[in-house]
Amino acid sequence: MPSISYTSRRELEEHSFSPAVTLLVPVAAIVLQVLLSKLYWRFSMLDLPLIVAIFFSVSRRSPAVGTLTGAAIGLVQDALTGRPIGVNGMAKSVIGYIAASIGIQVDVDNLTTRVVMNFAFSMLNSVLLFLIGRRLLGQAQLHMEWIQELLRALANTVIAIPVFLLLDHTKRAE
């Protein structure tokens, strides 16, 4: 007779990372983002810290941890890029929360899910950054270029897939 298990999907597939991976991967993504953007302006389309924040949030499947992960990554990114402190922190904390909440409900290891998720979160990040700049910081001259934001989301999605595959090797099951 089959037994009924009341273990949730989250409890079955929640992953953790070594402290070195938890610290070094986001820092490397932020430093690489800053350096690549300074070397060639087209690399500023990519948002490697966003990709890393999404990965850690969906892997840990904890909205609280996802929020803190996104906020920490965003704040460090703000400190190194010259943006007002908190802009990326706010946007990435919202995305971390939503990503972790989705990670509880959906199979985020599926390639199709990862593509859709990264594209959608990249678009959401652009909208959040626009709203924060326009509404909270009062930058009336700020306008959203939808074609550019769609291309940014596409570029981030294309880069996110191999990054996710590489970072999958750093997971350790609890």
User: What is the per-residue pLDDT across 123-150, written as a single tens digit (0 to 9) for each?
Assistant: 999 999 999 999 988 888 888 899 999 9
pLDDT of residue 12: 45
The verdict on residue 9 lying in a domain is no
Helix (H) or strand (E) holding 8: none
The verdict on residue 170 lying in a domain is no
Which residue in the block uniquely carries the two structure tokens 């460090």?
Answer: 76
The verdict on residue 23 lying in a domain is yes
Quickly count helices (H) and strands (E) in the chain.
7, 2
The verdict on residue 63 lying in a domain is yes
Phi and psi, residue 139, nearest 5°: -85, 85
pLDDT of residue 63: 95
Total structural domains within the chain:
1
The verdict on residue 60 lying in a domain is yes
The verdict on residue 145 lying in a domain is yes
The verdict on residue 173 lying in a domain is no
pLDDT of residue 142: 82
The verdict on residue 105 lying in a domain is yes
CATH code of 93's domain: 1.10.1760
- Residues of the chain short of pLDDT 50, as ranges, are 1, 3-12
User: What is the per-residue pLDDT across 44-56, written as a single tens digit (0 to 9) for each?
Assistant: 899 999 999 999 9
pLDDT of residue 33: 92
Widest CA span of the chain, in angstroms? 67
Tokens for 9?
A: 């999907």
Residue 132: which domain range? Answer: 17-164
pLDDT of residue 7: 43
pLDDT of residue 13: 60
